[in-house]
Amino acid sequence: MLTDRANEVVNQATPSKRVSLILTVHPIGSALNLAEDRKKRVATLSKFYSRKKQPILKHFGTYESSGLRVVNNLVGTPNLIVSAPARVWKRLMREQPKVFSDPAVEVTANEPDFVTL
């Protein structure tokens, strides 16, 4: 799901300004069946996140000619960092791809998040 802050950052940016967003894939439904062995657990998670990110990467690949770039796939983690001019993000938002409405994918602005204690 596209967070309100990510939407705000994109909409406030000038059309040519590059905006970076972080996409986080969350497991939904049944919990991951993780092995006790650390190496096996890491391998299982890496495969899981790679499989979950693949459709997102494929969809975003069609926007590369417009300036969208996967800055870092962060292999083995639930995150990936994607950058594009604000006009490209706005176009994507108008087209409403599944990634922006999927509850298993959180789309946040790539900026510090401060929490008060």
Mean pLDDT score across all residues of the chain? 87
Is the model's pLDDT at 32 over the cut of 70?
no
Can you give the length of the chain in residues?
Answer: 117
Over residues 36-62, the pLDDT tens digits come to 778 887 788 888 889 999 999 999 999
The answer to whether the CB of 23 falls within 8 A of the CB of 79 is yes
Banded model confidence at residue 16, pLDDT cuts 50, 70, 90 = very high
Rounded distance between C-alpha atoms, residue 57 and residue 107, angstroms: 14
4-109 folds as Alpha-Beta Plaits (3.30.70)
Over residues 84-105, the pLDDT tens digits come to 999 999 999 998 888 888 888 9
Q: What is the pTM of this model?
A: 0.84
Is the model's pLDDT at 72 over the cut of 90?
yes
Considering only CA atoms, which of 101, 99, 2, 3 is closest in space to residue 54? 99
